Structure 1
Amino acid sequence: MTVYAGEQAVGTVTSGTFSPTRKLGIALALVDTAAGLADDATVEVDIRGRRAPMRLTRPPFVQPSVK
């Protein structure tokens, strides 16, 4: 799936799944650093021909309970 910032393609989703901890879908994507997107930036992902808004977050998606 292609990641878009506006009309510009800036990356590709490499994998995705449902997070039982967060109770929502999560995905890993390769995003071009030249696009200059910051953490928490909103992008769109083309999912089967429809764009869905997503938020960029660096892993881990949840804080570990064990240190």
Structure 2
Amino acid sequence: MTLRRKTAEHPFGTIKAWMGATHFLMRRQHKVATEMAMHVLAYNMKRAIAILGCRTLLEAMQT
């Protein structure tokens, strides 16, 4: 359970905090799924920039 808290639940807690710890803005499952996908993409991009740096990430995306 301790390992699970460290690995799986941290990103979701961070994303929820970014969203303002509130409900989704959209209605209907396909719209909510799109909204969540956008949040996850933003989280992953922010993490990649923090780990690799902006220049390295841009170079990797261009190849």
Provide TM-score, normalisation by structure 2. 0.22
More helix by share: 2
Task: Point out the structure with max Rg over C-alpha.
Answer: 2
Provide TM-score, normalisation by structure 1. 0.22
